[in-house]
A and B are shown apart, each in its own frame.
Chain A
Amino acid sequence: MSLAEESSDSVFTEKEEEEESFNRRYTLWIKEALDELPHNFTITDPFLSGHPIVFASLGFLKMTGYSRAEVIGRNGKFFQGPKTNRRSIMEIREAIREERSVQVSLLNYRKSGSPFWMLFHMIPVFGRDDGKVINFVAVQVPISGRDHHHRKLTSVGDDVSSLDHSELVFGSCRREVCFGNFVQHQDHRALPVECDDDEQGLEDWEYCEASESEKLRAAEAINNVLSVLTRYSELSGRLVCGKRCCLRGVDCLSSSLVISLGRIKQSFVLTNPCIPDMPIIYASDAFLTLTGYKRHEVLGQNCRFLSGVDTDSSVLYEMKECILKGQSCTVQILNYSNRKDKSTFWNLLHISPVRNASGKTAYFVGVQVEASCRNTESKELRPETKQLSVVGAVRVAVRSSFMVTC
């Protein structure tokens, strides 16, 4: 899978935002410290749209053949390809959604397009004070396994394998060069030369078992990375740790909900009607662009900061009534932006109560459409449909996010 196949759905996010949030948590010096580690690993931020990679180790870059700039901002799926096992992909996705660790063998692809197997071991990293998932750390230990597949394959299964234990051990010993440390190699091919012919067959392997020592190596790498993150988070005062130390606050969204909401590209906010003054607890990137505010400026605030002198107070009253009654409504309201020109805009605002899995109203969603943008092309959805689709997507995300109980 080369970069040439990049579609318009690319998840390159604002590099600034990635670096900013990473540095604020861990300080500027963490990059140096992480670069001193010999392991292959990536660190992602689930609170950024697209769940992008915010750090990739030198070992990882060597292993995959990409430069740092080509990797930062990508989602981890970028390194998967058509022959990557679907079940393994699902396992990783579910682990992320459930905010827990996972260890699975995975077929990935280098920049050159050549496939390779590795043991993928991922853990969540929690904020010490708020129990939120701050990052996911993933370690990749390449595994060869070429001696394990000289006959027909079984499929992936928890209890079934065609591999003989002795073959595994033998295989590992022969691969003393593949100790998960690729910085030493001149070329970025992980496998011994004899494996060239087998590379084609690699992709068709249903599974590639990692040895016990490879698993231990992965665990060790994870620990090392976590130590560095913990140490540097102490410097900034915003501590992290490998275990969830406290219950996630009631106004704290799970990372999986944030990831789901991040798929919605329109402007919207979630507010919490159960907290005094009904603050914003989530704001989409599009909302920030529309209003000109930064995320940290709007979280925790009531939406009234968007109103101003000429905003019709009877409309505000109408909205308040609907909220009290737990009803949806659509209003046209004059809003004041914080954009460079400090312009006002007419906001076709739709608000609706949103229930969670308990069946009770947990949030209100507000979807903003700038009135001047209401061009109806035949190829696009009607603006009303578009607006309601945001409500629908939020409902699905909120209802399903009950999986992560805390």
Chain B
Amino acid sequence: MLLKIKRVPTVVSNYQKDDETVEEGGCGRNCLSKCCIDGATLPLYSCKNLNKSIGEKSESPVKFLESLVLGEWEDRFQRGLFRYDVTACVTKVIPGKYGFIAQLNEGRHLKKRPTEFRVDKVLQPFDGNKFNFTKVGQEELLFQFEASNDDNDSGIQLFPSIPLDADNSPSVVAINVSPIEYGHVLLIPRVLDCLPQRIDQKSLLLALQMATEAANPYFRLGYNSLGAFATINHLHFQAYYMAMQFPIEKASSLKITSTNDGVKISKLLNYPVRGLLFEGGNSIKDLSDTVSDASVCLQNNNIPFNILISDSGRQIFLLPQCYAEKQALGEVCSELLDTQVNPAVWEMSGHMVLKRKDDYEEASEEKAWRLLAEVSLSEERFKEVNTMIFEAIGLSSHEVAEEEEEEQSSMNNGFIRVHCPSVKEEEACI
């Protein structure tokens, strides 16, 4: 089946004019490539946190990492480095049980870097000619981030100015110049190594460590595989602050199984997207590696997916999807296509960025649900994919089937749990 691929011109940087050509030896754009990187320095945030103790005892004050991210972001904001003021984009919570969040953002669509690769293959090699993060201006970088596993290190350290040295394989946090929300950043693991957009153990662990270090349940990290609406084939995660729950975080879940490392795997219930929820584990690394192995399995089977890291790194959602394929096969109705919503991780989580005023004004929970339901794998396909994943993680499908059966039979006892619904009510239980 030949899927159509749209050819788009290479856009190198948001500050480059359309017809400017790249000069040999020093491009004058202060980027990260060999032409400009000599002498480049960035602050380095270094922490050790492989086994963070869980348990917030209070409304935790703004932690160090959060101050650094917000402070640097605001600095770039005031310097006008973003394509538009995202705080000027009107946003609302759609009335309903789940509280989908809708934002009207006309600028992002028009000014965003276009996608430059085929959308039918999850694994594609890195192409230095296409746009990648070594081509961004250094002013878009906020700091280097590292989280060591070494017990000898002494907690958090901020070094105001450390050279960007390829030998150290630095990972950086950069601004997203087309932000979805205030504080929207990109975590680019080992930026100078030019890794393609694919999950591996080391990178996912770094993302999880950042979530843990941020220690704010409203700071989530997300990942889009190729084919699940990633737009740049250079390994990166996204993150931003949204001080309320995402609909996906409210969805109930049903435990499927636990791994030997104590990682609990559940499936989502009562949510338009079928997906898995990973939590627990004897350590952050156990949780991260389990999800990473599952992701690698999906990658190797060419199944596009998104990842949401939530609850300060305690919960990871793995969401396979098939919207790109459906689009290419012409199976998506025009009503949904016209909204031009590309369901990446944030949309999958319930944060919908809309391009047209009408779509925003008429946004409803039912419409959001319908869109996401199209993106989701079917029940049958989801079961197949789960089988693949469990095998890849090293769980015998026999074990899993047993547990699932037991859940089924206990469900069939017909007990309905009475629960005070968590929707807004005037007088509730008084």
Give residues in A with beta carbon < 8 Å to B: 1, 5-7, 9-11, 50-51, 74-75, 77-78, 80-82, 86, 90-91, 93-95, 97-98, 100-104, 121, 123, 152-165, 206, 209, 212, 215, 218-219, 222-223, 226, 242-243, 259-260, 262-265, 328, 352, 354-355, 357-359, 378-382, 384-389, 391-393, 395-397, 399-403
Contact = CB atoms under 8 A, between A and B. Distances in A.
A158 B244 contact: no
B254 A355 contact: no
B430 A219 contact: yes
Contacts of B89: 359
A153 B254 CA distance: 10
A50 B58 contact: yes
Given A381-B71, A399-B91, A265 B428 contact: no
A389 B266 contact: no
B255 A153 contact: yes
Nearest to A242: B430
Interface stretch (B112-120, B122-130, B298-306, B410-418): B410-418
Contacts of B418: 212, 215
Nearest to A95: B422
Interface residues of B, number: 79
A226 B428 CA distance: 14
A51 B59 contact: yes
A391 B252 CA distance: 35
Contacts of B427: 242-243
Nearest to B93: A403
Given A155-B254, A355-B88, A400-B242, 7 more contacts: A9-B58, A9-B60, A94-B244, A160-B417, A385-B71, A388-B75, A396-B182
A1 B55 contact: yes
A263 B418 CA distance: 35
A358 B93 CA distance: 12
A154 B410 contact: yes
B90 interface: yes
20 contacts: A10-B58, A75-B57, A77-B59, A82-B55, A159-B270, A160-B411, A165-B415, A223-B430, A226-B430, A381-B67, A381-B68, A381-B71, A386-B67, A388-B70, A391-B70, A396-B183, A399-B87, A399-B182, A400-B243, A403-B244
Interface string B53-64: 111111111101
A288 to B, nearest CB: 17
Contacts of A391: 70, 74
B420 interface: yes
Contacts of B340: none
B62 A263 contact: yes
Contact of B314 (A86, A102, A243): A86
B7 interface: no
A157 B269 contact: yes
Given A100-B424, A388-B75, A396-B182, A263 B419 contact: no
B63 to A, nearest CB: 9
Contacts of B57: 1, 5-7, 9-11, 74-75, 77-78
B243 A397 contact: yes
Contacts of B244: 94, 97, 400, 403
A385 B67 contact: yes
Contacts of A74: 57-58
The 4 closest A-B pairs by CB, nearest first: A392-B70, A389-B71, A400-B243, A103-B420
Contacts of A396: 70, 182-183, 218, 241, 243
Contact of A157 (B158, B254, B406): B254
Interface string B2-29: 0000000000000000000000000000
Contacts of B73: 392
A242 B230 CA distance: 48
Contacts of A242: 427, 430
Contacts of A382: 160
Interface of B: 53-62, 64, 66-75, 78, 85, 87-93, 99, 157-160, 181-183, 217-218, 241-245, 249-250, 252-255, 264, 266, 269-270, 279, 311, 314-315, 403, 406-407, 410-411, 413, 415-420, 422, 424-430
Contacts of B158: 378-381
B269 A160 contact: yes
Nearest to B417: A161
A100 B60 CA distance: 22
B420 A104 contact: yes
A104 B255 CA distance: 19
A162 B407 CA distance: 8
A218 B418 CA distance: 15
A100 B311 CA distance: 22
Given A101-B425, A103-B420, A162 B410 contact: yes
A160 to B, nearest CB: 6
B252 A159 contact: yes
A90 B160 CA distance: 36
Contacts of A260: 243
Nearest to B406: A152
B402 to A, nearest CB: 10
A97 B58 CA distance: 15
Given A9-B57, A101-B428, A328 B91 contact: no
Contacts of A401: 243
Nearest to A356: B87
A160 B68 CA distance: 42
A401 B430 CA distance: 26
Which of B57, B242, B252 counts the most A-chain CB atoms under 10 A from its CB?
A: B57
Contact of B90 (A9, A262, A359): A359
Given A78-B58, A152-B406, A388-B70, A90 B429 contact: no
A163 B245 contact: no
A9 B61 contact: yes
Contact of A98 (B242, B419, B424): B424
Contacts of A163: 415, 417
B269 A100 contact: no
Contact of A358 (B58, B90, B249, B420): B90
Contacts of A91: 422
B246 to A, nearest CB: 10
Contacts of A387: 71
A110 to B, nearest CB: 15
Contacts of B87: 354-355, 359, 395, 399
